[in-house]
A = this chain, B = another copy of it.
């Protein structure tokens, strides 16, 4: 029956679904700069390390046990594990593990974590089809471009309403990447995007539970299956993204279509991807960074009388926990972050283990941190002075933390992070081989060798 209570709608939206489909199907392989292509390698490598690192996490154990009820075919690798499962389940499970530690990549304009949905789908499919490493990188760049451009279109209203944007745009990225990998033409790619449009995955209410990392995994699986269905003739609306009752207008009150079309094929959103050096909320990063630098100047914990920390008020509001009781609380304690930076020179997932947070030397050091608010300092900065027992003062000011777009992690930083995640799962030697396989992905005949290196 006709209804009268209609939401205001844009009936004249440009053909966004078609534009993206033609782009994904038609853009030249490696049709971008060396910098973009290098970023694709970094994005892939960082995603892979995160997934390997969480391979034995309880979220993975629970999700894998559920998937194994399906008796899946051994088609594709689970990163960091010996089991193989069907490609849709591999997309799901690798998507979960890569986001489990909240340590993956971030498209800073939208807070999308783009590799989880896209790389998880693309690698699983490529392992099965035998696609080349080059094809995987192309699919990754284009898939991330589609997801992040659609994110730009609806951000921030869509996120503010309560959607976890990684999984509610990620299914487009996965569908686009897999459609590209399958060599679908623009018509079928549009159908893949259309089938994906009906399947946004993710609510912010889930933050703090295993369903948060489920979101990129679910989006990866949805996108991969959408591409397979489109390949076999399944249909969807050719205006599923932009129509008045299509995705954008249903999930957001903001939809700036030019975010999709501006410089399409010239500017690539993967260029704005960043990688977390520390496994905790981003507002603590400048303080940790400063303490790591103090350590690199040779300052030892036993020399320290006091750490004077000046930060924006938001930092203490979000992460002002003085006496964290466990690892999870440690992620919300700038005091613990500083102690970890000084003691270990890093703050990866291990430095947020319950045992570390409660270790006497860690507790003693964090109690020497005296934090004061200074709203003259930017949220993204930190001012840290170590007052030593001999009276000396060592000062570090961090304007932009390591991992920001202004100070990106170097390739060596990424490798160190990867080793920290993977050595305990695959061993240091195998991890080094896997890293080498990531850097040479663009010339690999297929991805099966790389996938095999990721199985213990």
Task: Give A contacts to B, CB under 8 Å.
Answer: 1-3, 5-7, 58-59, 61-63, 65-66, 69-73, 75, 86-88, 128, 156-157, 159-164, 167, 194-195, 197-206, 208-211, 214-215, 218, 225, 228-229, 231-237, 239-240, 243-247, 249-250, 283, 314, 317-318, 379
Q: In angstroms, how far is the closest chain B Cβ from the Cβ of A65?
A: 4
* Residue in B62, B195, B211, B218 whose CB lies within 8 Å of A237: B211
A205/B240 in contact, CB under 8 A: yes
B205/A246 in contact, CB under 8 A: yes
Q: With CB as the reference atom, state the residue of chain B lying closest to A7.
A: B161
Residues on B with C-beta less than 8 A from A209 are 194, 235-237
Q: In angstroms, how far is the closest chain B Cβ from the Cβ of A344?
A: 27
* Residue in B5, B66, B69, B197 whose CB lies within 8 Å of A160: B5
- Given A3-B156, A73-B70, A244-B205, A211-B235 contact (CB < 8 Å): yes
Q: With CB as the reference atom, state the residue of chain B lying closest to A9.
A: B162
A162 to B248, CA, bound (A): 11
- Given A3-B160, A203-B245, A218-B199, A211-B240 contact (CB < 8 Å): yes
Q: With CB as the reference atom, state the residue of chain B lying closest to A96.
A: B234
Residues on B with C-beta less than 8 A from A205 are 197, 237, 239-240, 243-247, 250
Give the interface centre of A70, A75, A167, A232 by most chain B CB atoms within 10 Å. Answer: A70
Number of copies: 2
A235/B210 in contact, CB under 8 A: yes
- Give 27 pairs: A residue, B residue, CB < 8 Å, sorted on A: A5-B157, A58-B233, A59-B235, A62-B229, A63-B232, A65-B232, A66-B228, A66-B229, A66-B234, A71-B73, A72-B72, A72-B73, A162-B245, A163-B250, A194-B206, A198-B201, A198-B203, A198-B211, A199-B218, A203-B250, A205-B245, A205-B250, A209-B236, A209-B237, A211-B240, A214-B229, A214-B236
Nearest 8 CB-CB pairs, A to B?
Answer: A162-B245, A71-B73, A66-B228, A65-B232, A162-B250, A211-B236, A62-B234, A70-B86
A118 to B70, CA, bound (A): 19
* Residue in B7, B62, B243 whose CB lies within 8 Å of A232: B62
Residues on B with C-beta less than 8 A from A194 are 206, 209, 211
B240/A206 in contact, CB under 8 A: yes
Residues on B with C-beta less than 8 A from A235 are 59, 62, 209-211
Residues on B with C-beta less than 8 A from A70 are 72-73, 75, 86-88
Residues on B with C-beta less than 8 A from A164 are 198
Give the interface centre of A62, A75, A211 by most chain B CB atoms within 10 Å. Answer: A211
A2/B314 in contact, CB under 8 A: yes
Q: In angstroms, how far is the closest chain B Cβ from the Cβ of A350?
A: 22
- Given A88-B70, A162-B245, A1-B63 contact (CB < 8 Å): no
